Structure 1
Amino acid sequence: MKIPTTFTWLSAAVLVSTLCLFGVAQLFAGANLATPSPAAPPIGGLGGTTSPAPAAAPTAKNRIQIAFLLDTSSSMDGLIDQAKARLWNILNEILKAKKDGAAPSIEVALYQYGNSGLLPEKGYIEQVVGLTSDVDLLSDKLFGLKTGGGDEFCGHVILRATDDLQWDDNDNTIKLIYIAGNEPFTQGEVKPEDALRKARSKDIIVNTILCGNPNGSDGPSWRSGAKNGDGEFFYINQDERVTFIPSPYDDAIDRCNRKLNGTYIPIGASGAAYQANQLRQDANAESYSKANLSSRAKYKASANYNNSSWDAVDAHREDPAGLVAKKELLPDTLQQLSDAELTVKIKEISARRSSLQKELLELTAKRDAFVAEAQASSAGAEANTLGEKIKASIRKRLVEKNYEIKE
């Protein structure tokens, strides 16, 4: 896959810094801030319902870690397309789970395997992104995947994910691997049973997803893999098109999401690049449908969507003094303020963001009710797609760990 160059990231940073200066000026004036259209071309490669109560912030004791191992050989375009189309739907499913009033913190990793464009000496395997809570980074990397013929070594990629990722050793943490592909599960020098034994030793549950006929010659090895991994076996039709149900709330959600984007203030050039990626992932989500963008906006309204590493508002919420110490990295308009004035201004923008997130949660709750009613007449649709299989599986594991699922 193509890795963004320093030039493209710096170009993105310059553009977003310019936009940010304009946006902060409007915030100072007390105006409603409009953000650039999320449909801009990529810069780089990186019904009647009650208002939902805001969930408590996720904590380290409530954690779910998921690694997706996706076959990117030449026949897997449909698999990758389903993953892109259902990313936010899957993440939002996890947010339905609560323990002690809080959703679990979510960390996701992505591997690709079986692609001839990858290094043969590394088993045609690449860790695209390690376990991270930066879902915008995850989305960017997912949308950067390209397929190409190669050899698929399931045992090897499972072992790599087991050994290389920073898996939590807390007994309360849910640790899941989902490996999807369509070639024999036993190919390669690493025996799947050895890799699965290693995963079990770390309490990692390995689920297998066969893209094709479960009654064909490859079915038994994929079933055995799931059994030996203490997981579940699924089969999907990777070429089935994912459908999106439009709702009368999507336009309002879009407008609110754009306003939400305007409350982000990048810290330095790297922060500007991350902000550019935030807009780019809005565009990637909307490339499937505005309904899919609504799904992404719902996640952005949650406590799990935290960008304290690059955004001044989230950083101030976690460490006010630390942000003030970085004042020289903020837009010029904010640098000119005294420390006390800066704190007041950041708090004002933070309050505006909280209000917009609350509005988004109310709108998306109404949208969810509308979509649920529409789906009731087409029960079973998309049952054999990646998103539906993974959502059902994750839901099962959450219940096993005593999470309460709230629709």
Structure 2
Amino acid sequence: MKPTFLTLAFLFSLFIPQRTSVPEADRASNNIIQLALLLDTSNSMDGLIDQAKSQLWKIVNELATSNKDGEPVELFVALYEYGKDDIPRNEGHLRNIVPFTRDLDKISEELFKLRTNGGEEFCGKVILSAVENLRWEKENENLKVIFIAGNEPFTQGDVDYKIACRKASERGIIVNTIFCGSYDEGISTMWKDGADLADGTYMNIDQNQEIVHINAPQDEEIIRLGIELNKTYIVYGIDADENKVRQEEQDKNSLELSPGVMVERSVTKSGEQYNNSSWDLVDAYRDGAVDLKKLESNLLPEEMKSMNEKEKLNYIKKMQSERESIQNKIMQLNEERSKYIAKKMVETGKNTLDAVMINTVKQQAEKKNFKFK
């Protein structure tokens, strides 16, 4: 088996047993993009892991510019790993790490946890598992996409990839394949055939290609403001502290990868896709996801437990105002930064994870009437 770790950027450690029918999400909307990332964690594809970790925020930022019928897109991401010996063969050497979620910090956290270990890569099996076990939208006007990356033959395993890909297509799910190696080898090992069967796109990348970040004068201030945003979060709920720590840890992880990654993460944190209404009272109040009158005091942060209802509301609105002010500053700086980078950008001619994913999703989304700025 080749030294390999197949990943794709861009979600709790729980294995979902196979079902005979597709569970459907309960959202009544047609402006949703669902991305299921199926990453091969066999052997040593560390370069691809690094691409996934570092490019998640850039991919999200690109998709965040889209809308449909004037409404901003809702992005949900799911994460699978497959091909790892640590996962028993009777489980298909695969694991659903995170089901569809808008919790991008959770996706980032799990990407940083990924480790490679030799195994057998069953592409058909992991595709079928994703098709049958994830909560896909029923409405086909939404964009439902699987990205699977790898470098071993697409034909391995006891589930025929043709059956899996056709089932995906029947349910309006596109399967895009990313081969880590030469374009022609990916064709001969059936990666292109898999994409063709499920209305998808076949791509190849160099998983060891170094990601180039162009430093801009705005970077330092964007990073500072991105960290400053954390002070505007009001945690609530049983897992409040855990979620706050996760947010801070993903800032730290991004900074350790490179300042450029933290810049992209900070831009994400200033936009619509970074939504934490499940543990942050500012987002929850804005989305109407919480009733302050019914929220038990033991679920509130210490500073709010003694407040009356009016004081609680005023405190939330104060943090909301501070957050919006910081977010607006980040967005203004990012506009300046984008213009600066456009002037400095040099075409490398190399395909990296973010480039192939962004271009492919944009093309497929436009067919569903999503518009991009």
Shared fold (TM-score greater than 0.5)? yes
Deviations 1:277-322 (A, max 9, x none): 0111111111221121111111111122111110111122233861
Instruction: Using structure 1 for the length normalisation, give the TM-score.
Output: 0.82
Is the Cα contact below 8 Å between 2:37 and 2:147 reproduced in 1? yes
1:85-234 to structure 2, matched below 5 A, reads 85-216=54-185, 219-234=188-203
What residue number does 1:386 align with? Answer: 353
Instruction: Please state whether the residue corresponding to 2:250 is helix, strand or coil.
Output: helix
What residue number does 1:28 align with? Answer: none
What residue number does 1:34 align with? Answer: none
Task: Give the stretch that moved more between structures: 390-399 or 76-85.
Answer: 76-85
Instruction: Please state whether the residue corresponding to 1:281 is helix, strand or coil.
Output: helix
Distance 1:102 1:217 in 2: 38
Distance 1:59 1:145 in 2: 34
Is the Cα contact below 8 Å between 2:155 and 2:190 reproduced in 1? yes
Q: Which of 259, 271, 274 in structure 2 is aligned with 1:302?
A: 271
Instruction: Please state whether the residue corresponding to 2:99 is helix, strand or coil.
Output: strand
What residue number does 2:17 align with? Answer: none
Distance 1:85 1:342 in 2: 38
Task: State the one-letter code of the partner of 1:285.
Answer: S
Sequence identity, in percent? 39
Return closer, same or farther for 1:239/1:74 CA change in 2, 3 Å cut-off: same
Displaced runs of 4 or more, over 6 A: none
Distance 2:288 2:71 in 1: 21
Question: Which ranges of structure 1 fall in alignment gaps of 5 or more residues?
Answer: 5-57
How far is 1:60 from its partner? 3.2
Is the Cα contact below 8 Å between 2:151 and 2:186 reproduced in 1? no
Question: Which ranges of structure 2 fall in alignment gaps of 5 or more residues?
Answer: 1-11, 14-26
Is the Cα contact below 8 Å between 2:83 and 2:120 reproduced in 1? yes
Is the Cα contact below 8 Å between 1:184 and 1:218 reproduced in 2? no
Distance 1:163 1:321 in 2: 32
Is the Cα contact below 8 Å between 2:304 and 2:312 reproduced in 1? yes
What residue number does 2:362 align with? Answer: 395
Higher relative contact order (CA 8 A, sep 6+): 1
Instruction: Using structure 2 for the length normalisation, give the TM-score.
Output: 0.89
Distance 1:257 1:341 in 2: 27
Distance 1:217 1:265 in 2: 48
What residue number does 1:360 align with? Answer: 330
What residue number does 1:48 align with? Answer: none
Distance 1:152 1:320 in 2: 41
How far is 1:355 from its partner? 1.1
CA-based RMSD of the aligned residues comes to 1.8
Is the Cα contact below 8 Å between 2:186 and 2:204 reproduced in 1? no
Instruction: Please state whether the residue corresponding to 1:305 is helix, strand or coil.
Output: coil
Instruction: Please state whether the residue corresponding to 2:100 is helix, strand or coil.
Output: strand
Task: Give the stretch that moved more between structures: 240-249 or 187-196.
Answer: 240-249
Return closer, same or farther for 1:68/1:308 CA change in 2, 3 Å cut-off: same
How far is 1:100 from its partner? 2.9
How far is 1:325 from its partner? 2.5
Instruction: Please state whether the residue corresponding to 2:71 is helix, strand or coil.
Output: coil
How far is 1:393 from its partner? 0.1
- Residue 339 (str. 1) matches residue 309 (str. 2): yes
Q: Which of 226, 236, 246 in structure 2 is aligned with 1:267?
A: 236
